[in-house]
Structure 1
Amino acid sequence: MTADAAQGVMLDMRKFVAPEFVFGLGASRLAGQYCRNLGARRPLVVTMPDLMGHDWFQAILAGLDEHGLEHAMFSAVSENPRDFEVAQGAERYADQGCDAILAVGGGSAMDCAKGIGIVHANGQDVLEFAGVDMVARPGPPLVCVPTTAGSSADVSQFAIINDTARRVKVAIVSKTVVADTALVDPGVTLTMGRELTVHTGLDALTHAVEAYVSNANGPVTDLFALEAVRLVGAHLGAAADDGRDLDARAGMMLASMYAGLAFSNAILGAVHGMAHSLGGHSDLPHGMCNAILLDLVAAFNYDAAPGRYRDVAEALGRGLGMVPGPGREGVVEILRAFKRRLGVDKRLGELGVRREDLPRLAELAMQDPCMVTNPRKPTREEIEALYAQAF
């Protein structure tokens, strides 16, 4: 850690929130045991339809049976979970007499599951919880089995839900949405395709980078964030090239978990604020939005945290076998080299975004709570200019 990154860090008061987690091959098969340990008799399994045919998914359900647990199923979850899907899930939870939730999937399934739990417990529309510490009563017991290496929803105090009326993603940030247990099993990611591997992996990288440069960083989040950057650099390329490389998959699952523990506590920044606005407006994959914006925001923020961005570039460069050049340009080139290595080169104009959309996107991004912890305070005009650079 550079001197300016470390300065004063031991004097600031910080809290750290984390769930119980089990990491390792086969952890997903413990879902029945952990649901039963939490007092469940009839959990609602929240997932997505394309996961249900995998052998590992059937093994999870078999584990519920082995522990004497009946279950109900809710799989009407979109890639960017909608507010009305949360309402439908809460209705099913109540109708089926459920007493716990088992989320099996990527960030979409886990965020929807979190929303279902707090809607059931509080009797309010999920969008009423948008913001920080807006949830009065915690939801029912929640066990998460993440199936992608990127979202980190299994270990974070975030839930991201699509407000379909305003066409924007809203962030719910609360200790009440932290899972009781996360079962982090690299084996379930062996069935991910290349594109999903890359997008979710870049989401993990963005979590780690933004947590490290956040103005709410601390000594514990720094440890997790910087190691997550190094792990992504070392393993994401291999996982994308050969999806059956279990060592690479395990490295990425660990990176995702570390990054989640970091950003859950240090929060995020302008990349995520802008990505939430963009993803809600155009229904684009979250990891892709982050990838498009990451290097542009790093260049914008650099002068506010130069030592921290140098740490990021050096950690990512170690994984790539590259030594970053000096200054802002060296940091940006490392990030862009990593994107090139992964074949990520999309621009907003190619994805259906129109130039006339940019003022509205900037306006919504400025309202995102992630903007509060960005190391440089942007104006709406500066955010619009960053979107224009990505066009």
Structure 2
Amino acid sequence: MTVFKLAFPRVNYSGVGAIEALTERLIESHGSEKGLLISDPALVSLGFAEKILNSGLNIDLFDDVRPNPDTNTVNQAYSKYVEVGAQFIIGFGGGSSIDTAKAVKILSANEGPIAAFNGIEKVKHAGAPLYAINSTAGTAAEVTSNAVITDTKTHVKHVIISDKIIPDISVNDPSIMLDIPSSVTAATGIDALTHAVESYVSVGAHALTDYVSLEAISAISQNLPLVVDNGKNIEAREKVALGQFIAGLSFNSAGLGMVHAMAHPAGAHKDLPHGVCNAILLPIVCEYNRSHRVEKFAKVAKALGVDTSDMSEEQASEAAISALHELNRRVGIPSGFGQLGVSEEDTLSWVPDALADPCAGGNPYPMPKEDIIDIYRQAL
């Protein structure tokens, strides 16, 4: 058997009340030590940060995180960390807040700039303890070794991958997800589905990630339309949150592919939502990869809820692509980048970054420049 690695948080709390379980543990372990809560203005305005700020922890707040966090945001958050003399960090929100918290964790023990850590395992020292509370059920940032930070000077997304930035404790509490807008629910949910599908067909996939990926595909695809239709559906929210969590476990071990490699430049250059970029590209890239993973895409179809009993493997694999297109339509994903104001000239400028992205190496088949150009064209 090929050697494979699994890396994930030491502890995870999931379910309604998980935030309170975390704060109780942190009060016990950190006492009066100073912590820094890194979040975004929306969560603070909705009052969810109060669960942390009024918990009895000695906490200061940095809430200037923006979507697609950049190097300026990271530097400001780290300055706050130093200013208040923090000894531990809580990232509270979606991928933007948690990735910013991961970057501050890096800088707490390693000399910057943060761009120096772009790539795989370039972080030498683990830094301050990090606790991550997921609020979107999308990025799985609370469980993974990845952080994505946009460089404000070059407009390149630095993809930092290191076991040393995996949060010590992760939290998935669906009670804070009930008021997420349907468009955000859809985009983050398809982001999580992308993690599951890409890790399932990646070159790094193995027996354990195969099992987990299929379970995640099933949980997310069956329940995402329900929470898009009714954000207060706590049972479906919990199932989507679980699906995105285990999809994170899978891609943290097996890796991703060209969907993410091509989505990262779109977010960096046009400040587009990461989940939407992934969703637009997912069925198109999967069709490109399908002939190299026919058996696996046939199983993806079944996990997506397609009745494949009377289909050949080839037919079932084609049905998987159709089902991905249909799920995008069902939850309201834009049909292409053109709807978001992107031109073909824009996509041509993204190609070098897509080729250089660390996620590209996980794709089941190498994608040359000409094919990347063609896929971006199809995605318009």
The equivalent position to 2:21 in structure 1, one of 15, 30, 36, is 30
Partner of 1:48: 40
Q: 1:333 aligns with which of 310, 313, 322?
A: 322
For residues 286-331 of structure 1, what are the alpha-carbon distances to aligned partners after superposition, in whole Å with 9 as ceiling and x for unaligned? 000011000000010111111111111110125xx78796155322
CA contact (8 A) 2:295 2:317 kept: no
Give the whole-Å Cα distance in 1 for the aligned partners of 2:257 and 2:309. Answer: 26
For residues 280-291 of structure 1, the aligned pairs below 5 Å read 280-291=268-279
Matched, 1:185 2:177: no
Do structure 1's residue 146 and structure 2's residue 137 form an aligned pair? no
Q: 2 CA distance for matches of 1:229 and 1:214?
A: 15
Structure 2 letter corresponding to 1:262: S
Q: Which of 115, 134, 145 is residue 122 of structure 2 equivalent to?
A: 134
Residue from 88, 110, 113 that aligns with 1:100: 88
Structure 1 residue 168 displacement after superposition: 2.3
Counterpart for residue 235 of structure 1 = 223
2:18 counterpart letter in structure 1: A
Give the Å deviation of 1:140: 0.3
Conserved? CA contact 2:174–2:234, under 8 Å: yes
Query: Separation in 1 of the partners of 2:310 and 2:74?
Result: 44
Residue 363 of structure 1: which of 329, 349, 352 is its match?
352
Q: 2:17 & 2:49 partners in 1: Cα distance?
A: 12
TM alignment of 1:373-388, pairs within 5 A:
373-388=362-377
Alpha-carbon deviation of 1:123?
Answer: 2.0
Q: What is the alpha-carbon root mean square deviation over aligned residues?
A: 1.5
TM-score, normalization by structure 2: 0.95
**2:101 aligned partner, one-letter code:** A
Rounded Cα–Cα distance in structure 2 between residues aligned with 1:324 and 1:276: 38
Q: 1:129 to 1:323 in 2, by over 3 A?
A: farther
Secondary structure of 1:60's match?
A: helix
Cα distance in structure 1, aligned partners of 2:316 and 2:48: 46
Q: By how many angstroms is 1:358 displaced? A: 2.3
Please say if residues 276 and 334 of structure 2, whose CA atoms lie closer than 8 Å, have aligned partners that are also in contact.
Answer: no
Matching residue's letter, 2:81 = Y
2:88, 2:128 within 8 Å by CA — same for their partners in 1? yes
Which amino acid in structure 1 is aligned with residue 59 of structure 2? H
Looking at structure 2, the residues matched to 157 and 57 of structure 1 have their Cα atoms a distance apart, in angstroms, of 24
Shift of 1:57: 2.7
11, 17, 40: which one pairs with 2:7? 17
Spell out the pairing of 1:98-247 with structure 2 (5 A cutoff): 98-247=86-235
Question: After alignment, is 86-95 or 37-46 more displaced?
Answer: 37-46
Q: CA deviation at 1:34?
A: 3.1
Structure 1 residue 343 displacement after superposition:
2.1
Percentage of matched positions with identical amino acids:
35
Separation in 2, partners of 1:247, 1:206: 22
Report deviation, 1:128.
Answer: 0.6
1:313 match: 301
Residues 38, 141 of structure 1: 8 Å contact kept? no
Q: Secondary structure at the match of 1:182?
A: strand
Corresponding letter in the other structure for 2:35: P
Counterpart position of 1:352? 341
Deviation readout 1:3-41 (Å, 9 max, x if unpaired): xxxxxxxx1110100102111111012332233354361
2:73 corresponding residue in structure 1: 85
Q: TM-score, normalising length from structure 1?
A: 0.93
Describe the SS at the equivalent of 2:154: coil
Mark the runs of 5 or more structure 1 residues left unpaired by the alignment. Answer: 1-10
CA contact (8 A) 1:313 1:324 kept: no
Q: Structure 2 vs 1, CA of residues 236 and 99 (structure 1 numbering), >3 Å: closer, same or farther?
A: same
Letter in 2 for 1:27: A
Q: 2-side partners of 1:373 and 1:324: how far apart?
A: 32
